[in-house]
Amino acid sequence: MGLLKDFEWRYATKKFDSTKKIEQPLVDQIIEAAWLAPTSSGLQPFRIIEITDENLKKKIVTIAYNQQQVADCSHLLLFAGWDNYSEDRIDNIYKCIALERGQNPDFYNSYTTRLKKTYTSQSEEENFKHIAHQIYLAFGFAIAMAAELKIDSTPMEGFDTEELDKLLDLNKEGLRSVLLLPLGYRDEDNDWLVNQKKVRHPKKEFLLKI
């Protein structure tokens, strides 16, 4: 039951010890977990931006409604989604899949034709919503990996996405910010939440058996 114990240990950290830095190979493992997450049709329509620049982290605090975790953490990960699906983006990943698997470049053509038809008939906002769903799943993988490594994290959607996009010039990259993940080590003495009981809905209400 190792993973469940890790999940009990994990909590949405409010105060990091800003003097403690995570060894880079551990951060890399957290990113790898997100990289390995499943995505719809394997399109992996997002990028992770690793931020360690202290000045930049401080600037993001204001955009994150003064949540200090953004500055006090060791590494700040931004999960940013493609701004839309496109024929090029779909072709690109499927060409890569065919190449890596030693298949003919046209191997997935009938499948990608269907995918392109579906996504080009939907609005940009509908597609972006779908893209964001893929991010939430990979984000869960990253948080779980962090917990297994005994690294603290705060899942965060409490920030102004448009302001962050502007600050990082994400539009130029065809990306839009979705979630922030500060990573680091808890400040046991100064975090009010650290020893609070984890409360969820009663299991008898949470689980419906049919």
CA distance 49 to 125: 22
Nearer to ligand FMN, 31 or 194 (CB): 194
The token pair that represents 181 in the structure block: 């993940």
132 binds ligand FMN (CB under 6 A): no
153 binds ligand FMN (CB under 6 A): no
Nearer to ligand FMN, 43 or 156 (CB): 156
DSSP 59-72: HHHHHTTT-THHHH
* Residue 16 Cα distances to 8, 60, 79, angstroms: 18, 16, 20
Minimum distance, C-beta of residue 84 to ligand FMN, in the bound complex (Å): 22
Q: Which stretch binds ligand FMN (CB under 6 A): 18-26, 96-104, 108-116, 152-160?
A: 152-160
The token pair that represents 136 in the structure block: 């939430």
| Contact residue for ligand FMN among 20, 155, 163, 194 (CB under 6 A) | 155
| Contact residue for ligand FMN among 5, 9, 12, 117 (CB under 6 A) | 12
Exposure class string for 146-171: b at 16+ Cβ within 10 A, else e? bbbbebbbbbbeebebeebbeebebe
157 binds ligand FMN (CB under 6 A): yes
Phi, psi of 165 (to 5 degrees): -60, -40
Minimum distance, C-beta of residue 6 to ligand FMN, in the bound complex (Å): 12
73 binds ligand FMN (CB under 6 A): no
Point out which residues bind ligand FMN (CB under 6 A): 11-12, 14, 67, 154-158, 198
